[in-house]
Amino acid sequence: MATTGRSAVASEPDAASVLSDAEFVRVTAAPTGGSVAAAAMLADACDERAVPFQVRVARSAPGSFDDSTASHVTVGIESGDAAASVTDDVANDAFALVREAGGDPDPVLAFAGAVADGVEPSSDVREAAGLDRRPGVGVPTADLAAGLAHSTLFHASFSGDEQAAGATLAELGLPPGLDESARRRLASVVALDATEDASERAADAVAAGLRPHATPDSVFETVEGYADVLAALAWDSPGLGVAFALGAADRTDVVEAWRAHARDAHETVRVAELARHRGVVVVDAADSQPTVARLVRDYRAEEDAVLAVGDGAAALATTDADARAVLPDAVGTSRLAATETDDEDALVETVRGAL
C-alpha cells in the first residue's frame, strides 16, 4: 500500500508524483530484501529523470525529517512526516509506482524483492519478468555445495557448512550437468533433511526454496537465490545491498557477504537455547536477527512468534500477529519486523504482553 503525508487516504499516483516532481529525493528503507529492491527501483526512477537521490537503510523507525530541502520517501516504514511511503507489499507497489511515473523498473528485481519479503509477485511483475520454474533448489550460485550450505531459505543438517553440503551432494552422485531428474532428487533430499525433527511449519517453509524460477539473464541462477541474497545484505551489509540492487556492486563481494550472513544465522539457529513463553519464543542472537527469527519460527519453534534479540537490535517473526504493530518502533513487514533497542528485557516484556 502506498501512502503520502499529504492526506489520510492517498492513491498511487500521489506517491508517483513525488518521483516526478521532486528536486531531491531521500529514500529511507527497512532492512528487508523487498524494501532494498523497492528503494533501488525508486532510485532508478529518480536517475532516469536526473533527480539527485540518496538511499539509506534504517533498523528502526526514524523520527521527524529535519531536512526540508529534500522529498523524503520511506519504504517498509510507516511515517507521517514523509512525502510518500510505500509500506506494504513494497516490491510490487514500487514496481507499479515507477511505471506510473513513466519509468521502466527491473521486473526481475521486483520479483526477487517480493519473494524476499514472503509475498507473491504481482501479475504485472510476473508478466514483465517472464520467468519459468524448473525442478530443484533455489540457490543463487552455480556451485551447489556453496548454494546449499549458505541458503537461508531452509535450515538443514548441512546448513552453514560447505563441506557437509558437499558430502550430501557426493552421496547423491549427481551428474555434472543436472537434468530434471537429478534436480528433483536434490530437491527431495533437501526437503526431507530440512523437515526431519523440525516444527510443523517446516514443510511449508522449505517449499519456498524448491521448484525455483530460473533467471538465465540475471547475475544469479534463480530468483529465489537472488531474493535470499537481497534479504541477507539488507540486514548485515545494507550499503552493499543497495549498491547491488542498483547494479553498482561487485558480485564477489555480494556473494561473500551473503555467505557470512548465512553462516552466522545457521550457527545461531543450531545452538540457540529457546526460551519459550506463551505465544512467543525468545532467542539470544548476536547478529542476523531477522534471518534467525524467521528460521527459528519456521524450523524450531513451537509458538507462533519468535523474537530474536541481541547487540542493540531485535527482530520479530510471526505467523498471524502484525509484527510491526507488536514490536516498538519497528520497520519491515507484517510477518518479519526489526527494531533497535537499548533495553532487551523491557522489549521482551513488551512483546510478551502484546502477544
Percent share of the chain, pLDDT over 90: 80
pLDDT values of the chain reduced to their tens digit, one per residue, 355 residues: 343 333 333 334 356 778 778 889 999 999 999 999 999 999 999 999 899 999 999 999 887 776 677 889 999 998 878 888 898 899 999 999 999 888 999 999 999 999 999 999 999 999 999 999 999 999 999 999 999 999 999 999 999 999 999 999 999 988 878 889 999 999 999 999 999 988 889 999 999 999 999 998 888 999 999 999 999 999 999 999 999 999 999 999 999 999 999 999 999 999 999 999 999 999 999 889 999 999 999 999 999 999 999 989 999 999 999 999 999 999 999 999 999 999 999 999 999 999 9
Predicted TM-score (pTM) of this structure: 0.93
Please tell me the class of the 2-128 domain. Answer: alpha beta
Q: Rounded to an integer, what distance in angstroms lies between the CA atom of residue 66 and that of residue 126?
A: 39
CB of 99 closer than 8 Å to CB of 63: no
Residue boundaries of the structural domains of the chain = 2-128, 144-216+252-267, 272-354
pLDDT score for 262: 97
pLDDT score for 346: 95
DSSP β-bridge partners for residue 282: 275, 307
Give the torsion sign (CA, 26, 30, 34, 37).
Answer: positive
CATH 3.10.310.30 given to domain 272-354: yes
